[in-house]
A and B are shown apart, each in its own frame.
Chain A
Amino acid sequence: MTQPKTAPNALRPSRWLTPLLVHVILGSYTLLAIAPVILVVMNSFKGSQAIFQKPYLPPIGELFDPVGYATVFKQTAILHYLGNSLLVTLGSIGLILLLGAMTAFGLTEYRFRGRGFLSLYALIGLMIPIRLATVSILKLMVALNLQDTIWSLILVYSAQGLPMAIFVLSQYMRQVPSDLKDAARLDGASEYQVFWLVVPLMRPALATLAIFVMLPIWNDLWFPLVLAPGEASRTLTLGAQQFLGQFQTDWSALLAMLTLAIAPVLVLYLIFSRQLIRGLTAGTVKG
């Protein structure tokens, strides 16, 4: 059964058929996934009329019209908006990951009275749309003198992301071998040192979570609109809204701006997913 039969195996259809089949399935779904995305990018280089009338032709020759990009760069401080979006997103992710990991560690590592209640309490935020509390949050930000600053957004998104972080990280924290922690403790490590020992092991989970919480923050329109509508604190997604009119929408400019908005998330995704793989390969070595 286990004797090597290398030569005949290589010729067996399953040897090349399976990878081929894998590529066919992955490839065709990839096509379905990216065709609309390509369409968006393509059409961002066309005039409004051409977007609707010739949506499937590439923007070459007569169809090429970067008017959308011209409008975006002329009418909006897009780089400034981009900076705001990045600061808000990265700031929130940072807070969510750090505080989320600490809490998840505290809730899974120790047994203490009220643990069950706190776990449930932390979950509640997942179940109610935070949009509901807008007025109260806005009043709070006014009281803290934070309205129209990106700090208001960072605080709200962090609070909003924490339940998710605590929930997901708790699930993964349970999978960290206890021998490792116990060994460290026997060596005299403090609880904080044990925590920082565990965090690197959580890298895949942290990276997954970072990607997961990043997207709604990056694409959110509501809180920037209400908490920080001023020019100085405006985010990219909010900035793009000015092209959405009641009866007339500047589709070229809207698509151009939202296409530009994809690039930074893509970069962040690449960075995080890189961390994800790295953490896993590092983790499995000791596994």
Chain B
Amino acid sequence: MSSQDIPEENLPAEQDEHGAVSVADEKNPFADPGLPPHEHRVQDIDERAAKRSERMVALLFTVSMLATVGFIASYVAIPHDKAIYVFPIGHINALNFALGLTLGLALFAIGAGAVHWARTLMSDVEIADERHPVEASPEVKAKVMDDFRAGAKESALGRRKLIRNTMFGALALFPLSGVMLLRDLGPLPGTKLRHTMWSKGKLLVNMNTNEPLRASDVSVGSLTFAKPEGLEEKDENFQTEIAKAALMIVRIQPDNIKDKRELEWSHEGIVAYSKICTHVGCPISLYEQQTHHVLCPCHQSTFDLSDGARVIFGPAGHALPQLRIGVNDEGYLEALGDFEEPVGPAFWERG
């Protein structure tokens, strides 16, 4: 742009007589000098710059229109399962990419246009508005207090105590109906959290193969997940039952088992522990075969499976419950009862 062509009378120096430097207040140099004079933008003084801004805003709005057309075209033309490679993101869904970018551009261009319009063409002269205290004036307050007193007196609430007290009673009681209605949100806990599907004689079924496990299937160092026989994925209560019954099965050399009861409850070093963490119930799934440690990936509670599954690190509060197992006549692993203690997170009635 060439500032030589701007008419003289439009230049800031011609417009502001008292513009330039504010003279320091002799008495109080820190005093508020008041609003500084308005500084002109190039658009204020040069009509051609203003025209350029206008064209820019119009261009942005036009871009937005084109982007919306692009959105509709993408929606119609791009198959919804087409993947494309976009550097550096990788392979992504073409339709999602096209729709998102065209929509984003259509919206952004409207916003950019409006903001550019406001910043370059609308007046940027600062205006001061008065504030008024939020507090009411003493007269207003006095009037309100009088009104209130009059109203309260006319209601006779203070005088007729019987009405007041019974009204408070009624208002306090009726929400109880609402509370009662919430009762059937769920059953009472009872001993539900203490029992699982496991019982004497139930076979341990391999989660992956859906076949009962034989002792010989479990080798040292492996980690197997098991469920009780009779629990199928399509069962209605599968999710709720597996949330308590899920088992982890590992085989440890009997000599390496440090806990006496653990050895007793195992079958030749095959031990079955609840898979549900005693912290807040995540399934434990990381097994370190050399140390026999298992780690919950959610909150990193670590248990030692060779020592009664006691907690060796992390926020869990107690050891994983062990399921007592044996082998039936046909060589299949079976439970010798339910867990002796509740599985999963601790709760008040657990004891």
Whether chains A and B associate is no
Interface residues of A (CB under 8 A from B): none
